[in-house]
Structure 1
């Protein structure tokens, strides 16, 4: 029984307080560290306080060990100091977890081979609204400096009501009464990117942040305040192919190309505050507030040219080509009409989150909790596109381009994508704003403007009561969660055309910028800011009423009553802990569109779960978890915007759009873990998991029995029956995901005292998956990588800290968000990212006590992000579809705590 009492207290010997876990003061055996550790200091009461990356790892290990569910954790090294530059990078280093980069930022997280649409993210346990059209949180909206840590739950339990087919991510902020002392910390850092692609952009940025924590009135009131502001540049060399088509019999080459220089200026203000009141020994009130103001300004300038587009741009554009034995064109010469493009994409988003919690515990075995929260994100996206060339394009009666080509471009495939030779002067003063390829017909569309505005609003209230029972069944919890969420979108669109019906508009010299040089041999191109054209009368703004028809409003009303029992039993020298329970989830959905009729739906889901942890006196934990899990569809997949018309070939209506009657993804899941802990700060683990997909969503399924009779009749021919063909998301059945994960943290002092300060931490995940599309065929799961690995080697002693990290993921099907709100799915190639950091923490007693300095290098090998095309039914190595290079980033900064 002595072991069990120590375990319950979190103590196995002399106390070791880990100061940098703001959520809770952890206690471990004094053997967890050594007295010689110069990164530890001794307090007045003799406790050893560990700081730095090693303490962050120890905190994460302790969280994993104590949890009843399958959990991976990241803890802050200190106030305002997560181990990585961003939240996404820190999460992506956890076992079985990977990231997809956006402009070089790791802000799209995959858990166990599933993309972000299969997991949820909460802030202090509360579901959050998002800055995109789906439910997936983009981690850019949360500054890392305001967080105390992150927990990733891979198994389900009944009192976690946010859902998640493969897991849920909980971001934690500081709880000031738990932190238990006063601290004021400030910091700043500068950023340098080693490529500057456009003259009006910058390769330098900065971040500043501050945190204040204190307790008042005999530690009955706690306050934690945090603020962070960043102005960060991102530079991307971006090349894209249109796809691959037939150059000849069984010969496939690029249909067209687009090469960009992209400069991204990201500015973000994040504010977070928590106030806690210990009203009595039995009652604690906690109030949280979070605000983020997010401005992302992207300038894209590039060269686009059709090569082969089914005869509409003329098959005679292909002058010559050579192909390999597979039929892939490896070099070609094309005659055509290039388009010089200057695009601007601006996003402004404001996110708010407020929560209140009342927790009551009268020490008689009865506890109660009431939690309310409100989250809202308002977002405006403005996508402005303009095109320039030597003349306006026109098509003849047969649809083919009738003017002779203006350029000859040759390409050769290499191991880093195609290289080009071009005779086109993309910076010529003769270029005018016009529809170079004649794509818009009579409109002469020299530009286009699309503005999308969305509001995501979520209100939730949760109440639960827990009663201690005693014996094998430690306690029983009964609760209910109610969530009311609405997501609405409006869309305004407009043509930008030359004034007076002219074929082209000359760009005033005062609006021109220094030409930019594209890589890959395409040379200099014209540069200007398209935001200035309409206001200066260069192009006219002509509204396109189509945009208004794309508006939607979706409402979810979800009730989740749940019951959960906790287990705590002595089995010989072992301790069995865990929980079991069930959720009953009722969802009512209303989907409204600007044109189509309102659709309402409702359904129940029953989700049982069990988590068991057998803890041995030899510091081993054996875990078993079983549950039914679900994840709701993307919000925009449930819109009732249906576009359709008469198909001459099928003699029926054919259309596409959303599907308000979609049901969530659902799976049965099993987990089995064996974990061995040693030294209080290290562990090794083998984790096995299996999920059977009971219900899946095919994003492009076809339902041949779709009834179009409720919708307004489109102009043109009318078929004999309103029953037609529909292309959109539909539910399917069948499939699985299974795999194994190896994880561990190894401080080398457990091997030899002479190696004190050195260590390794990391993991390897191997998964196998299968899902079924609407035809019953196997289909790839977005975000799935068979292999995911991470490794960090570190040294930390005498104030010095040094670490190098890598993370690897094998190829996967990536989701790339389109501005329309849809997704472009492409096969992403494997990638390995290397980062490093060196720093120094001034020691207690020195004149600069509390000051930490550090330098980081990120993406040190300038690893590309690349995709390949599906050519003739399979992914061809070397058939490049996208190739992006983000450059290396170097960060130097400090934190000062006093």
Structure 2
């Protein structure tokens, strides 16, 4: 048998380090191997470096520092420490990841190599939310930045594999338990200290032939956040004659386009969250050649938020535009204040049942069968959002003068209610306005079977082994969307309504003393109960959408090990062929007419007869890969990789139904339709790296990568009419309203008629529009300062693109979102009892979304601290601090002055005790 010393030893080391964070080293000058048990930060970093060194292609990893102890309290926040990985946060907690500029929809997350389902309560998409997995149950995470023929496709940025433990990994009795209190300094309602408990027990029986592992966790968190901003900026909205455009720089903006905000908003969010995770694994080894594993994994996630806001709408504003065209100081005389209440619900149930059988058929041939049936169900009860609004009745000459100045970090808000008897905040001066209910129930099921074989060369020769296999994936999504929007007139006598001062709302932003003086406190649920009691509750509009994707794949991969000028060389060549068939459907009511119900609303009147529409699509792809690594010296590894990867289109972009997007009198009249014939993004990826590995686990690397991406998805727009159920074009009844219109009831005289002007709709459809080039650099170093216990990690990622977003190109329909530089700096100290780690993560500003107007997220940096002390060999106490310096998030529109969200959260601490046995 040919000796492949370097590679086989590295693989063995990787397996040992991955299953238990130990570092094995040989003492200098000794013939005996000394086992050094390093289980802390250093052990985790050394294990991760060894996985990177021994892997083919570009792979980064994070491993547990000890059983039940992951580097961060949240998986996404651990992943952001990896070069090339940046995260999006939700409520001051890592939720989704972007890798090398590709956002959550284009990174495939697998659990133990299996594609997991995911469900959303607001938008149907493929992105995985890491808030749903407890970090304590995870053994390690591998980020495959280059494609491999033998791993699932779908991650154009990366394939992220989350690994959990099995009883045979430990081989003996192991257990841990952890209890901690989550101290959230932002809390204004609920408990400022909430519990989080987790544990695991694993053992083997019958001389190692049977193993059982059970892990579980329960987490609660209450939190609060402040938001200041607007509901969006709209180009050329309003009466141009009321806008001073003289300052606009026509060399940049020759059309003298101007942007007005919809609203000015201050709101409070109060959130309660619960999460449960559990996993049961049973392993059997009936013979020396067969190992069977059965596993069940579940998660339950439930979050409820209440929101209250003070706001106003700029219905017909006056103002002055700056050089770019942003109306900096919009104002409306004789208008009204709006006092909103929201109730948000998010509930997810995830279940996965799996089977894995490994059979060592001969000394050189091994087969495996892996199958799972996994389901995700979001919002089984349907409704996820209830909205209520109160307002001051608008009277000419007796209203509220409103205005704002958007030249600072947050808008300086002006409210002059001196013409209203009493105050605009008096309950006696308020009337009911509207309510909304929105729902999205989503079910996602993934059935997957993977038959794989490995042949190992037991003779001499460069060919080390051959991987081959077949994989079939059945991916099914069904969504049930409901929505209602009604203006109502109900008494407020029984509504529990108060107003409270803003207090320290937004005090981390300059100008926080120039906001609304008060914010309302009332329940949207109670308001809607009053609407129901008054008989003004309307039936929601319901749309059903679904997609079935069936993918068959075959692959083969050849691994070679040889030498060049006495330097070890590892090489693998593989190819994967996939064929995907797509079938999409939509079921929705037919449109009868538009009802001129309110000066701000054209209500869509449906026939309540559900009609189905279906479209099919499909594609096939050949995905090759080639990896080459050369051990130039004992310490230096050079690496080259080429692979072709794909990113599948977003779920919501493929539904074939047509949706009218809240038409209003005078427009805009916009609609959207999905496209199940979308092709996947296809990327040819090239990576070149040089890596240095020290004997003590210190390492440094520099990687250059380049991606040539085809079929980038953008939005195509077509101006056309949309017909009603009778095949007649929809018309606008508000242009020349008939007597008695608008009417808040179902007055048929206010319905659109054939004699009304025909509406030309701007219909957007996702299309494969562009090719793009992306390249960048990843710089990484970790260093251990001898035996002092001190160490440091630093990395930086540079991301570039051949596309530059032109702020004054108003027809741009596709853009690369998520592209940004990022960096990490970590310092730590540990000895036999104490572990301390201080980490800083930074992400540069980036384009988050491109809709009718872009959304940019400004640069953000955050400090986190972790301290752990081992009381004895069994017990340790710890404290983790997140966002120590109370950093804030700010998003803006096309220009920095167009603030959308300025959010403030507060620091958070986890204080607890951990025991291992």
**Normalised by the shorter chain, which TM-score bucket?**
0.7 to 0.9
Q: Is the 8 A contact 2:442 2:478 kept in 1?
A: yes
Question: Are 1:159 and 2:150 matched, yes or no?
Answer: yes
Q: 1:299-356 CA deviation, whole Å, 9 max, x = no partner?
A: 111012123xxxxx334xx4xx677666655556543311000101101110111211
Q: 1:790-841 CA deviation, whole Å, 9 max, x = no partner?
A: 111000113111111011111111249xxxxx99851111111111122211
Q: 1:142-178 CA deviation, whole Å, 9 max, x = no partner?
A: 1111111111110001001232111111111012212
3-state SS in 1 of match to 2:653: helix
3-state SS in 1 of match to 2:24: coil
Question: Are 1:465 and 2:453 matched, yes or no?
Answer: yes
Q: Which residue of 2 aligns with 1:894?
A: 913
3-state SS in 2 of match to 1:148: strand
Q: Which residue of 1 aligns with 2:748?
A: none
Question: Are 1:213 and 2:202 matched, yes or no?
Answer: yes
Q: Is the 8 A contact 1:214 1:223 kept in 2?
A: yes
Q: Which residue of 1 aligns with 2:390?
A: 388
Distance 1:45 1:675, change over 3 A: closer
3-state SS in 2 of match to 1:158: coil
Paired with 1:252 and 1:593, the residues of 2 have a C-alpha distance of 35
Question: Are 1:49 and 2:37 matched, yes or no?
Answer: yes
Mapping of 1:289-688 within 5 angstroms? 289-307=296-314, 313-315=315-317, 318=318, 328=326, 330-331=328-329, 334-335=332-333, 336-380=335-379, 381-391=383-393, 403-404=396-397, 406-413=399-406, 415-423=408-416, 427-430=425-428, 432=430, 434-435=432-433, 446-469=434-457, 470=459, 471-495=461-485, 498=488, 503-508=489-494, 511-512=496-497, 515=500, 517=502, 519=505, 520=512, 521-535=515-529, 547-548=541-542, 550-594=543-587, 595-643=611-659, 655-688=671-704
Residue 390 of structure 1 deviates from its aligned partner by 2.8
Distance 1:252 1:86, change over 3 A: same
Residue 665 of structure 1 deviates from its aligned partner by 0.8
Paired with 1:829 and 1:156, the residues of 2 have a C-alpha distance of 31
Q: Which residue of 2 aligns with 1:869?
A: 893
Q: 1:348-372 CA deviation, whole Å, 9 max, x = no partner?
A: 1101112111111245210111110
Paired with 2:474 and 2:15, the residues of 1 have a C-alpha distance of 41
Residue 262 of structure 1 deviates from its aligned partner by 0.7
Distance 1:332 1:823, change over 3 A: closer
Q: Is the 8 A contact 1:462 1:480 kept in 2?
A: yes
Residue 256 of structure 1 deviates from its aligned partner by 2.1
Q: TM-score, with normalisation over the residues of structure 2?
A: 0.83
Q: Which residue of 2 aligns with 1:397?
A: none
Paired with 2:802 and 2:540, the residues of 1 have a C-alpha distance of 39
Paired with 1:184 and 1:823, the residues of 2 have a C-alpha distance of 53
Residue 723 of structure 1 deviates from its aligned partner by 13
**Residue of structure 2 aligned with 1:765, choices 780, 785, 797:** 797
Q: Which residue of 2 aligns with 1:859?
A: 883
Distance 1:712 1:69, change over 3 A: farther
3-state SS in 1 of match to 2:131: helix
Q: 1:462-513 CA deviation, whole Å, 9 max, x = no partner?
A: 1012222452221222211111111011123345665xxxx3321526x446
3-state SS in 1 of match to 2:136: helix
Q: Which residue of 2 aligns with 1:441?
A: none
Paired with 1:130 and 1:823, the residues of 2 have a C-alpha distance of 27
Q: Which residue of 1 aligns with 2:186?
A: 195
3-state SS in 2 of match to 1:60: helix
Residue 778 of structure 1 deviates from its aligned partner by 8.8
Paired with 2:760 and 2:265, the residues of 1 have a C-alpha distance of 39
Question: Are 1:805 and 2:839 matched, yes or no?
Answer: yes
Distance 1:691 1:426, change over 3 A: farther
Distance 1:415 1:53, change over 3 A: farther
3-state SS in 1 of match to 2:656: coil
Residue 279 of structure 1 deviates from its aligned partner by 2.3
Q: Which residue of 2 aligns with 1:442?
A: none
Question: Are 1:10 and 2:42 matched, yes or no?
Answer: no
Paired with 1:110 and 1:181, the residues of 2 have a C-alpha distance of 38
Q: How well do the aligned residues superpose, as a CA RMSD in angstroms?
A: 3.6
**Residue of structure 2 aligned with 1:839, choices 863, 868, 872:** 868
Paired with 1:273 and 1:648, the residues of 2 have a C-alpha distance of 53
Query: Relative to structure 2, which stretch is displaced further, 592-601 or 724-733?
Result: 724-733
Q: Is the 8 A contact 2:722 2:729 kept in 1?
A: no
Residue 714 of structure 1 deviates from its aligned partner by 5.4
Paired with 2:556 and 2:493, the residues of 1 have a C-alpha distance of 67
Q: Which sections of structure 2, spanning at least 5 residues, go unmatched?
A: 237-242, 249-257, 418-422, 506-511, 588-610, 732-753
Distance 1:27 1:188, change over 3 A: closer
Residue 703 of structure 1 deviates from its aligned partner by 5.4
3-state SS in 2 of match to 1:659: coil
Mapping of 1:90-105 within 5 angstroms? 90-105=78-93
Q: Which residue of 2 aligns with 1:728?
A: 765
Paired with 2:71 and 2:33, the residues of 1 have a C-alpha distance of 29
3-state SS in 2 of match to 1:556: strand
Aligned residues: 826
3-state SS in 2 of match to 1:370: strand
Distance 1:637 1:824, change over 3 A: farther
Q: Which sections of structure 1, spanning at least 5 residues, go unmatched?
A: 36-43, 308-312, 394-401, 436-445, 817-821, 844-848
Distance 1:688 1:16, change over 3 A: closer
Query: Relative to structure 2, which stretch is displaced further, 162-171 or 188-197?
Result: 188-197
Q: Is the 8 A contact 2:352 2:375 kept in 1?
A: yes
Mapping of 1:227-238 within 5 angstroms? 227-238=216-227
Paired with 1:661 and 1:74, the residues of 2 have a C-alpha distance of 38
Distance 1:82 1:714, change over 3 A: farther
Mapping of 1:59-78 within 5 angstroms? 59-78=47-66
Residue 419 of structure 1 deviates from its aligned partner by 3.1
Residue 671 of structure 1 deviates from its aligned partner by 0.6
**Residue of structure 2 aligned with 1:150, choices 112, 135, 141:** 141
Q: Which residue of 1 aligns with 2:780?
A: 743
Residue 725 of structure 1 deviates from its aligned partner by 6.7
Q: Is the 8 A contact 1:17 1:26 kept in 2?
A: no
Distance 1:410 1:537, change over 3 A: closer
Q: 1:261-316 CA deviation, whole Å, 9 max, x = no partner?
A: 11111111111122222222211111222111111101111012123xxxxx334x
Distance 1:526 1:776, change over 3 A: closer
Distance 1:662 1:896, change over 3 A: same
3-state SS in 2 of match to 1:140: helix
Paired with 2:98 and 2:897, the residues of 1 have a C-alpha distance of 26
Paired with 2:621 and 2:862, the residues of 1 have a C-alpha distance of 41
Question: Are 1:248 and 2:237 matched, yes or no?
Answer: no
3-state SS in 2 of match to 1:525: strand
**Residue of structure 2 aligned with 1:259, choices 238, 260, 266:** 266
Q: Which residue of 1 aligns with 2:737?
A: none
Q: 1:169-228 CA deviation, whole Å, 9 max, x = no partner?
A: 11110122122232221111112222234xx44433221111112121112222221111
Residue 578 of structure 1 deviates from its aligned partner by 3.3
Q: 1:392-443 CA deviation, whole Å, 9 max, x = no partner?
A: x6xxxxxxxx6446323454446532233434556522254522xxxxxxxx
Q: Which residue of 2 aligns with 1:179?
A: 170
Paired with 1:680 and 1:362, the residues of 2 have a C-alpha distance of 39
Paired with 1:136 and 1:674, the residues of 2 have a C-alpha distance of 32
Residue 252 of structure 1 deviates from its aligned partner by 5.4
Distance 1:621 1:152, change over 3 A: same
Query: Relative to structure 2, which stretch is displaced further, 221-230 or 513-522?
Result: 513-522
3-state SS in 1 of match to 2:472: strand
Q: Which residue of 1 aligns with 2:874?
A: 850
Distance 1:553 1:516, change over 3 A: farther
**Residue of structure 2 aligned with 1:702, choices 704, 709, 717:** 717
Q: Is the 8 A contact 1:747 1:757 kept in 2?
A: yes
Paired with 2:770 and 2:192, the residues of 1 have a C-alpha distance of 49
